[in-house]
Structure 1
Amino acid sequence: MRILDKIAPAVLAVASWSAMAAEPSRISVHTLAGGKEVARIMLPIGQQHSVQVEANQVEQERGGITHARGNVRVTIRSGGATTAVVGDEVIVRRKVLDARELAAIRALEAMGAPGKRDAARDRKELARLKTIIAAHGWPGLRFAGPELAANAFTVLMRTPPREMEALLPALREAQAQNDVPGAQLAQAEDRLLVAKGLPQRYGTQLASGKPVIIEDEGALDIRRKMLGLPAMPTSSGQ
């Protein structure tokens, strides 16, 4: 008699947050290959999500971590849409926000709210962003998710040069940790340089449809590649 060693898939309903508005969470799904992360999905904070994990082996670890291995399928239902993630190893992380984190998230959400823009609103949002950075570092993808992180970057790009220069170290550190897209750092660095009357480094700032003068243009594409930017489509002509 042949003994089958096939393991039946384990099914774990990680969570269904449709009734947990009082407990906002930061939820992310990480796909691994060879023990290294190759893809990540950050679920929008403050929305209702349902996440189900199916795999040969599912372990519930401390800190709200679910680790699945072998024929993994993660089904995410969010806002009426369904997304499936498949792989050999997937980690789902869920962290309930504490009061300070929740206040920061709410402030970032307000930064993206529609309405009339004026100097007073820009100053208020800048003050909030400084408070968030002081408490949590730059609010990048891991802390805020892509949409709210983009709100923070928008506020930065409206900031006067002196204030921007003071905040850039936090953005640089986040980018070095792959928590901020390289394109954002390139734009901020170039914006500051141009505001100071200096040549830009990455060719992101335009005037009359052409890049403002660029430092060491022969090495431009090398610098752009280091931040994940494509080569410049045409020469600046400088």
Structure 2
Amino acid sequence: MPVSSDPLPPPHTRLPGGVRPASQVLLVVVCVLLAGVALTDLFAVFAGLRIRTLTEADPARALDGAYTLYERAGDLQGMVTLPGMVVFVVWFYLMRRDLGVLAPDAFRNGRGWVVGGWLIPFVNLWMPYRVAVDMWGAAAPLPRRASLWPVNLWWGLFVGGTLLGRYASSGYADSDGLTEVREAVAQYVAADLLNAGAAVAAAYVAVRLTAMQRFKAARRPFAG
């Protein structure tokens, strides 16, 4: 027996704040690109481990082959990561816009911070996380609040990989010998592993948040 006597919407009617077909396509594109980011990060991990192995066994061979492979892995990372980040931010903005219709009082910052928070140095280490937490709360089914562990895991891996990657880049640029190179590459390997995990976690957050938004959009106008 229905809890509410409100009439149901006609078929194929998009509910306020609901998931648009274009957004569903965008979600698929986001997940595909994030999978590509994770794979290129793992390829960079393989190339980095190869450098460490060969520099310990045969330094001359390492300079000829391993460095070339490592540079190619870095180029591939740049080619995949940049479009992946752009598309993810576009999805991030559209999700914030739609959730603003469902729960306009759930957000502590204006919509402009959804994009600006990624672009401002230092601010981009915490503002996107704050927006994501607000979106998670806005999409959570009432009255209970969904656990934040997916958002916390994603952001922890992302910030850890970003900071460690910057530190490794500085060490790699200042390295004078094979010992310094091996240390910097080891740091890069750890950063790439964190970044690969962050990409996978970001895809999970995107899928889970979209599902929560769809569920809440379908129930909100007709809740008893």
- Give the TM-score normalised by structure 1: 0.23
Greater helix fraction, Structure 1 or Structure 2: 2
Greater strand fraction, Structure 1 or Structure 2: 1
